[in-house]
């Protein structure tokens, strides 16, 4: 893979970088971790892989040590807090002009980095690749999903696969209470600096959500987490989206029940 170079005339000077730090949050994340990390190294020019781990007890740390033996650029930081404190620590460790947030259960599309560069100009501070759920097979469902997930990003942001201009967030102080919607806080922070957060259909990532999401207990748990730990202002704007997600979760539960 030959990497392009991010070259933009930023508002306070020219940016040029051929590699980026990657920030990955983990906690007992071994289910899809190897696939995720392999896709990152294939499609992102990684300077440093910054792993913020919540004291995993599965094979997560063993897997990351394997990648460090291969690439010699993995740094592991431990955090006992939540997503807000973990992202804050990850940002603090970044040294490149741009950095990349990625979730531990996604697989990046081919050529992610070079595709993202097409969306970068002087006013862009953040590029988000659309997440596509691995379970979606119907083209009609996919069209609706892509429309809704784009609208969700406009309201609350996302960090599944997100390229961010580092100097815009080095002074961020993410409220420690934000176990969810910390991504919305990051997006708002970038936009308040006068930069644009760009959502893209290309590049994208495939999101392999955990199997327990497609159960009654799991889908209700996600909704409860959003309502109890989220921002009331954002929840109101996202009710239609949550209705779609709930309906899709019910469909998956029914589909799985029918297959047994």
Tens-place pLDDT, residues 176-197: 988 888 999 999 999 999 999 9
Break the chain into its structural domains and give their ranges: 6-209, 210-260
pLDDT at position 11, please?
43
pLDDT at position 95, please?
97
CB 147 within 8 Å of CB 241:
no
Structural fold of domain 6-209 = Spore Coat Polysaccharide Biosynthesis Protein SpsA; Chain A (3.90.550)
Cα end-to-end distance, the chain, whole Å:
43
pLDDT at position 87, please?
98
Work out whether the CA dihedral 85, 91, 94, 99 comes out positive or negative: positive
Phi, psi of 143 (to 5 degrees): -60, -45
Number of C-beta neighbours around residue 28 at 10 A: 15
Distance between CA atoms of 24 and 102, rounded to whole angstroms?
A: 6
pLDDT at position 156, please?
78
Residue 135, C-beta contacts closer than 8 angstroms, at least 6 positions apart? 209, 214, 252
Of the candidates 60, 157, 158, 160, the residue with the CA atom closest to the CA atom of residue 108: 160
pLDDT at position 145, please?
84
Distance between CA atoms of 9 and 12, rounded to whole angstroms?
A: 8
Tens-place pLDDT, residues 2-29: 555 444 433 443 343 579 999 999 999 9
For the chain, residues with pLDDT lower than 70 are 1-17, 212-260
DSSP string over 77-135: EE-SS-HHHHHHHHHHH--SSEEEEE-TTEEEPTTHHHHHHTT--TTEEEEEEEEEETT
Q: pTM for this structure?
A: 0.84
Distance between CA atoms of 15 and 135, rounded to whole angstroms?
A: 38
Instruction: Give the 3-state secondary structure of 9-70.
Output: EECCEEEEECCEEEEEEECCCCCCHHHHHHHHHHHCCEEEEEEEECCCCCCHHHHHHHHHHH
pLDDT at position 211, please?
75
């Amino acid at each position: 893979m030959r990497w392009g170079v991010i070259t933009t005339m930023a508002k306070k000077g020219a940016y040029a970088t051929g590699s980026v730090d990657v920030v990955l949050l983990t906690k007992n994340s071994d289910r899809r971790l190897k696939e995720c990390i392999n896709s990152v190294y294939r499609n992102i020019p990684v300077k440093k892989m910054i792993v913020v781990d919540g004291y995993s007890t599965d094979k997560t740390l063993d897997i990351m040590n394997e990648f460090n033996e291969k690439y010699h650029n993995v740094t592991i930081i431990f955090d006992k807090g939540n997503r807000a404190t973990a992202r804050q620590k990850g940002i603090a460790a970044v040294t490149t002009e741009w950095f990349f947030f990625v979730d531990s259960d996604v697989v990046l599309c081919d050529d992610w980095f070079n595709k993202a560069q097409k969306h970068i100009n002087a006013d862009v501070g953040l590029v988000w690749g659309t997440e596509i759920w691995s379970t979606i097979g119907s083209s009609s469902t996919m069209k609706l999903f892509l429309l809704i997930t784009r609208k969700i990003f406009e309201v609350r942001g996302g960090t599944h696969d997100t390229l961010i201009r580092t100097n815009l967030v080095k002074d961020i102080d993410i409220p420690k209470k934000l176990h969810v919607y910390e991504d919305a806080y990051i997006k708002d922070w970038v936009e308040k600096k006068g930069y644009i957060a760009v959502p893209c259909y290309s590049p994208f990532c495939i999101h392999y959500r955990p199997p327990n999401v497609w159960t009654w207990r799991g889908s209700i748990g996600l909704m409860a987490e959003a309502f109890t730990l989220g921002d009331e202002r954002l929840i109101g704007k996202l009710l239609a989206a949550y209705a779609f997600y709930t309906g899709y979760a019910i469909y998956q539960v029914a589909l799985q029940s029918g297959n047994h």
